[in-house]
Amino acid sequence: MSEVLTLVLGAKPGAGAIPVAPDQWLIAGKAPDGTLSIDVSDAYQAFEVKENILTQGIALDFAKLPADFAGRTRLGEIGVLLSRDGDTWILRCERSYAEWVETWLRTRPGGI
Amino acid sequence: MSGYRLKPIPPGDDVEFEFGGRTLTGHRGEPLAAALLASGIRVVARSFKYHRPRGIVGYGRHEPNAHVGTAKGNALATILRVEDGLKAWPLNCWPSVDFDFGALADRFGALLPAGFYYKTFMGPGGRFWPIFEPMIQRMAGIGKLPTDPAPLRVEKRYAHCETLIVGGGIAGQQAARDAAKAGGRVWLIDDGDVPEISGVTVLRDTLVIARHEGGLFVAVERNPNAAFEARTWKIRAARAILATGTVERPMIFRDNDRPGVMLLSAVRRYARDHGVAAGKSVVVFTNNDSGHRHARELTEMGIAVPAVIDLRDGEAVVAALGCPVRGARIAKLDGSGTRDIACDVIAMAGGFTPLVHLHSHAGGKLRYARDFAAFLPDGSHDGAETRIDLPQDHLLARWEAPDTGGKAFVDFGADVTAADVRLAAREGYDGVELLKRYTTLGMAPDQGRLSNMNALDILAREKGVTPDLVGTTTFRPPFVPTEFAALAEPTGKLLKPSRTTTLTAWHERAGAVMYESGANWRRPGYYPQNGENLDAACARECFAVRNAVGVYDSSPLGKFEVIGQDAGAFLDFVYATRLSDLAPGRGRYALQLHEDGRLFDDGIVFRLSPERYFVTTTTGNADACLQRFEYCRQVLRPDLRVHIVPVTEQWADIVVCGPQARDALAKAGIAPPRDLGFMGMAEIELFRRRCLIARAGFTGELSFEILLPNSAAPALWDRMIAAGAVPVGSEANHVLRIEKGFISVGHEGDGIAGPDDLGLGFAVHAAKPDFVGKAALLRDRTDTSPRPQLVGLLARDPDFVLPEGAAILRADAARGRGYVTASCRSGALGRSLAMGLLEDGRALMGQTVSVSLPGGDAGAIVVKPAFYDVSGGRQRV
């Protein structure tokens, strides 16, 4: 899926922002007014994934994650961003790894 | 016929299977070993080194001999289940298990002592090992790789629990019930079948193969569902109970490896659990109460036990008679009173060895328990508690019968005899780890589970100490041999992550030869046309850049935005080059140094506006640069107000280079600002997106670097190709930069060369108050010892390309004084070129050095490291 993504520099811009560095937050959508931010819409590829698929490659204890979890973790050998949207999870990888992640998802039964 | 069924197979449960070409009948679901025993098949394999006929010894995971081949690879006959259409065959034998050429090794066994390979093939000079190794491999190798290209289908899964219980025996089940009452997620794992327990997640047919620090367990589950043949679990447990049980200890006597010599516990399991008698008449050889107890059980099940020979009574089985076994020779410990008893099974009962592997995997210590002659966990370790109950069986700590000649085996799997262990000890290999490596003891697939304790006992006696002073070898994962497919991603594309640009699909369509390059990127090496080879394609691509126009996908380049009011001060600190005085719209070649003053990375830093910089780094170091930037920002200079944003993934980078670059851009509808000079950068709008265009590149030609959001890159690339630009790969890039004498961090930045050594002193602004590496750099200047310096090299033979990495010898020195860092055939200069790092190289201009090569040294003349357009005029036009 393609989307508008903005990296906000400085303080957390609000709920749902994914921390990617101590001073950096990734949000879906355009930059909120009055923030220092840059467009990173082309830097990530997003996938909607079910938890049952994620537990095949991500070591997090999903049962213990908060309902609004959003953060960086690892899928197999690569770093990814993970955030919760109701019952589904949004997995975002750096664009250069999208082909690898897509292959990984396709080879899990029910993955894509 | 020897073994038989105590009761017939229920109708409908009988299945036909094939073993070594023979069609046999078994009970559906029983281990192949049970079916072979019941069918009277006694020889199932040949041993590893001596190719002696071997039968089934143990039960389940602890079988040392009965490895069989299947279409899916090797398997243990004691694990493999009988099912319709099962086909298996014996290993380590040619032409057949009953007649095997390799068995000659047994006849000449005296010529194959411990350390045989070292003594025979690996002497000084080592000329013979390469000749003999493949032959030995073929003789000894356990089976063949499966030819089936379809790998084992394995699912991988992570899981978490509060309590993990390994082992579903009585102790494990009780622990699970207790843990379930206490609450939290409780998992119970067993490699066989376990009943349901309320509140417990039970994994059956699953083996825990490893325990790592922090409560991480790795387990492999067999046949978890229809889609997969195995499932590998990585389970993080807050607390664990290891109820892994024991394995019975064998006895040591002449020919104790003959088919028919088994562990008593195995004979009992086959009878009790599968209704299979391993033989008609079982002689038990023991040193403790368990031998008698279990012998009675056999008798109760209807199996004849003519004698229980107990070492405690001063008697021993001194030899197995026949092959397969048809009798046991009994004697008093002083050798008197010899008598023979007819039997077809000799059952060994030497006490029980606790399976402490998981405790030890993660570093748990062991203590020696004299009563049981066993090593036990010394308390719990890292949240894991071992629960193994050992019966009080009044064991006599002796396992060896009096020596009556022949071979008495300690390790069946690795074919190591008691005499081998003694020989190793006498030759000085008397530490456990040395013994293991010298004799290969414990290196067979069963990892010495049956043999280690007996070997330690012999070693301790040779040294005149107790076994606790000898210690054990290190227990390492996996607990059992495990298929690679269960541990790694099996298919090509997933084996290692590889990164693509938005132009990779174009490169592949154009037939580019793709290279694996730095930081996981898959990049075009060259684009062969009409059957061109590498040299021809590379020469054509170079010619285009020097004479017309080329286009290069530089998207993997490391890219950062450095933003904030202290951005300039921050970059001045991280880079050796001054960057705070750059004018907006200008760029500068800049160096990062290691703390020790050596070159770490280079790149061009542009200033977009007073508080905004666009930084490029090398591709391979992009991640390392981010770590370093953030370390400097967060730890060393938290006073500076700056953000560092990695944007490698946001921006594609297309380099249009060559004397006709401007025309090609015009044809593609792109007009760079008129005043954009060399090393300048400006914003332009392309495809309604904000883009950046810079006058920079690595080729020394007029060069435009266009940075644009990734999704817009394919459209621009297509336009440049349509405008006549020739796609250029990394091979041509390499040649073009050598022609210019430009360094590449991956070639010349070897961790020893500093900026001055590489001729890059101009980029170090030592007047700055501080920067990473400055202190070391200043200290270097007081050091007068010779430094490696970057030089150009012209081979005496202009057609000869010096190999990269070859040592350079100075005429006056016998030893290496430097090496070739980069080398190529240059079309522009019509000859080979090279660069190298040479001690005091700048003082040697014009002199001849020799480059050391296997086939004879090659002469080369030392020149300045710049060959083409030395004044640099072409890139500034």
Q: What pLDDT does residue A107 have?
A: 87
A59 contacts in chain B (CB < 8 Å): 158, 234, 236
Question: pLDDT tens-digit profile of B439-448?
Answer: 999 988 888 9
B825 has a pLDDT exceeding 70: yes
B140 has a pLDDT exceeding 80: no
More confident residue, B179 or A15: B179
Min Cα–Cα distance to chain B from A87, Å: 19
With tokens 């410990």, the residue in question is B333
For B87-112, the DSSP string reads: EEEE-S-SB-SSSBGGGHHHHTGGGS
A23 contacts in chain B (CB < 8 Å): 643
Cβ contact (<8 Å) for A23 and B643? yes
For B543-609, the DSSP string reads: HHHHHS-EEEE-TTSEEEEEESTTHHHHHHHHSSS--TTPPTTBEEEEEEE-TTSSEEEEEEEEEEE
Chain A: residue whose CA lies nearest to B559: A43
For B759-788, the DSSP string reads: T-GGG--TTSS--TTHHHHHHHTT--S--E
On whether the CB atoms of residues B552 and B657 are closer than 8 A, the answer is yes
CB-CB: which of A95, A100, A104 is closest to B710?
A95
Question: CATH class for domain B510-556+650-736?
Answer: alpha beta
Percent of chain B with pLDDT over 70: 92
Q: What pLDDT does residue A29 have?
A: 94
Question: pLDDT tens-digit profile of A70-106?
Answer: 999 999 889 999 999 878 899 999 999 999 999 999 9
How many pairs of residues across A and B have Cβ atoms under 8 Å apart? 92
Min Cα–Cα distance to chain B from A6, Å: 11
Cβ contact (<8 Å) for A100 and B494? yes
DSSP B293: H
On whether the CB atoms of residues B745 and B620 are closer than 8 A, the answer is yes
CB-CB: which of A60, A99, A109 is closest to B227?
A109
Min Cα–Cα distance to chain B from A33, Å: 18
Q: What pTM does this model have?
A: 0.87
* Pick among A6, A7, A8, A42 to test the B interface (most B CBs inside 10 A): A42
Chain A residues whose C-beta is within 8 A of a chain B C-beta are 2, 7, 9-10, 21-24, 36, 38-44, 55-61, 63-64, 76-78, 94-100, 103-104, 107-109
Q: Which residues contact B336 (CB under 8 A, 6 or more apart)?
A: none
Q: What pLDDT does residue B93 have?
A: 58
Chain B: residue whose CA lies nearest to A26: B645
CATH number of B558-646: 3.30.70.1400
A10 contacts in chain B (CB < 8 Å): 643
**Choice among B366-370, B471-475, B583-587, B849-853 with the minimum mean pLDDT:** B471-475
Task: Tell me which architecture the domain covering B247-352+392-405 has in CATH.
Answer: 3-Layer(bba) Sandwich (3.50)
CB-CB: which of A7, A38, A55 is closest to B158?
A55
| Residue at B110: amino acid letter | A
Q: What pLDDT does residue A2 have?
A: 74
**Measured between CB atoms, does B631 come within 8 Å of chain A?**
no
How far apart CA B87 and CA B329 sit, in angstroms, is 37
Cβ contact (<8 Å) for B489 and A76? yes
CATH number of B408-476: 1.10.10
How far apart CA B298 and CA B267 sit, in angstroms, is 8
How far apart CA B157 and CA B601 sit, in angstroms, is 39
* Pick among B157, B160, B555, B686 to test the A interface (most A CBs inside 10 A): B160
* Pick among A96, A101, A102 to test the B interface (most B CBs inside 10 A): A96
Q: What pLDDT does residue B816 have?
A: 56
On whether the CB atoms of residues B254 and B320 are closer than 8 A, the answer is yes
Min Cα–Cα distance to chain A from B491, Å: 10
B12 C-beta neighbours (distance < 10 Å), count: 7
B129 has a pLDDT exceeding 70: no
Cβ contact (<8 Å) for B494 and A103? yes
Min Cα–Cα distance to chain A from B672, Å: 23
**Measured between CB atoms, does B201 come within 8 Å of chain A?**
no
B563 contacts in chain A (CB < 8 Å): 9, 36, 38
Question: pLDDT tens-digit profile of B417-435?
Answer: 999 999 999 999 989 999 9
H-only helix segments in B242-391:
264-274, 289-300, 357-361
CB-CB: which of B234, B500, B648 is closest to A99?
B500
CB-CB: which of A9, A103, A107 is closest to B643?
A9
Q: What pLDDT does residue B445 have?
A: 85
B504 contacts in chain A (CB < 8 Å): 99
B160 contacts in chain A (CB < 8 Å): 61, 63-64
On whether the CB atoms of residues B802 and B845 are closer than 8 A, the answer is no
A56 contacts in chain B (CB < 8 Å): 155-158
Question: pLDDT tens-digit profile of B777-814?
Answer: 999 888 888 899 999 999 999 999 999 999 998 766 55
Min Cα–Cα distance to chain A from B12, Å: 35
Q: What pLDDT does residue B197 have?
A: 96
Question: pLDDT tens-digit profile of B50-91?
Answer: 889 999 999 998 899 999 988 877 889 999 999 999 999 987
B232 C-beta neighbours (distance < 10 Å), count: 24
Per-residue pLDDT band for B49 (boundaries 50, 70, 90) equals confident
CB-CB: which of A2, A39, A97 is closest to B499?
A97
**For chain A, domain boundaries:** 5-106
CB-CB: which of A44, A59, A99 is closest to B234?
A59
Q: Which fold has domain B4-118?
A: Ubiquitin-like (UB roll) (3.10.20)
Q: Which two tokens stand for residue B288?
A: 């403790």
B116 has a pLDDT exceeding 80: no
Cβ contact (<8 Å) for A38 and B556? no
Mean pLDDT score of chain B: 92
Number of residues written out for chain B: 877
* Pick among B649, B653, B687, B691 to test the A interface (most A CBs inside 10 A): B649
**Measured between CB atoms, does B150 come within 8 Å of chain A?**
no
Q: What pLDDT does residue B115 have?
A: 67
Cβ contact (<8 Å) for B494 and A77? no
Cβ contact (<8 Å) for A96 and B501? yes
A1 has a pLDDT exceeding 80: no
Q: What pLDDT does residue B143 have?
A: 61
Q: What pLDDT does residue B493 have?
A: 80
Q: What pLDDT does residue B136 have?
A: 61
Task: Tell me which architecture the domain covering B154-243 has in CATH.
Answer: 3-Layer(bba) Sandwich (3.50)
* Domains B154-243 and B247-352+392-405 fall in the same CATH topology: yes
**Measured between CB atoms, does B869 come within 8 Å of chain A?**
no
Min Cα–Cα distance to chain A from B774, Å: 28
B100 has a pLDDT exceeding 60: no
B865 has a pLDDT exceeding 70: yes
Min Cα–Cα distance to chain A from B630, Å: 9
A60 contacts in chain B (CB < 8 Å): 158
CATH number of A5-106: 3.30.1360.120
Min Cα–Cα distance to chain B from A38, Å: 9
**For chain B, domain boundaries:** 4-118, 154-243, 247-352+392-405, 408-476, 510-556+650-736, 558-646, 785-877
Distances (CA, A) of B24 to B1, B37, B94, B95, B96: 13, 11, 22, 21, 18
* pLDDT (mean) for B360-385: 95
Per-residue pLDDT band for B688 (boundaries 50, 70, 90) equals very high
Min Cα–Cα distance to chain A from B564, Å: 10
How far apart CA B493 and CA A103 sit, in angstroms, is 8
Q: What pLDDT does residue B783 have?
A: 86
- Give backbone dihedrals phi and psi of B81, rounded to 5 degrees, phi first: -90, 145
Cβ contact (<8 Å) for B493 and A103? yes
* Pick among A95, A97, A103, A104 to test the B interface (most B CBs inside 10 A): A95
Min Cα–Cα distance to chain A from B501, Å: 6
CATH 2.40.30.110 assigned to B785-877: yes
